[in-house]
Amino acid sequence: MNFVLIGAPLSGKGTLGKLLSEHFKIPHISMGDLLRNVANGKTKYSTYIATIMKEGKLINDDLAKVILEDRLSKSDCKKGFILDGYPRNMAQAEMLDTIVTIDKVVYSTVSEVTLIDRLAHRFICPKCGLNYNSKEYSKTYCEKCNTALTKRVDDNEETLLKRIKAFNEATFPVLNKYMDENKLVTISNEGDINIVFAELLEKL
């Protein structure tokens, strides 16, 4: 089964993606992580992608498709996948239709106030990529690899607000598309994650 997760930055798509991945035994693919891997690499696209992400803008649709299509061609996606953070506009949604068939689209909704609060408390391990919330995790190092936690380069309120604005302008037409196709499932992701996930499974 092929899923798409849609939501503003820090809306909890990653957490839902991991839970869905464990439940359905299919890979969770974060477009943001894919692009960050390229940005941190040494390909001909690395500098361009790093600059665009730092400014809080969106990656060129054609380039995003190339990177995503390569990932979805891997053998672990044969039984399905959970695609996190893509498509973000109609052009990408139409491109995705030429690659695979999407079965369900999960829209994770969170208030802007909650998004800003989550940003203030989010830290990341620069080595393994794990995310931490300082409200729930008081240590300054990663529990997995013992590396000191840091903030992402693009984790600041100004950039977040730019990303939310870009999301709202580009993604709502995509939500309407999947609603018309009877594929859209909307879930409020502000409460206890176990309750949220149980509710999501019922809706799916």
* Distance of alpha carbon 158 from alpha carbon 25, whole angstroms: 37
Residue of 18, 71, 122, 127 marked active site: 122
User: Is 122 designated active site?
Assistant: yes
Q: How far from each other are the two terminal CA atoms of the chain, in whole angstroms?
A: 11
From the candidates 36, 65, 88, 118, which is the catalytic residue? 88
Do you know the residue count of the chain?
A: 204
Is residue 163 part of the annotated active site? The answer reads: yes
Please give the C-alpha separations between residue 194 and each of 75, 78, 127, 200, in angstroms, as whole numbers: 30, 28, 28, 10
Say whether 118 is catalytic.
Answer: no
Quickly tell me which residue has 């919330």 as its tokens.
Answer: 133
Q: 18, 71, 127, 152: which is the annotated catalytic residue?
A: 152
SS3 (DSSP) at 168: helix
Is 25 one of the annotated active-site residues of the chain? no
Residue 71 falls in the annotated catalytic set: no
Secondary structure string (H, E, C) spanning 47-101: HHHHHHHHCCCCCCHHHHHHHHHHHHCCHHHCCCEEEECCCCCHHHHHHHHHHCC
Residues annotated catalytic, as ranges: 13, 88, 122, 152, 163
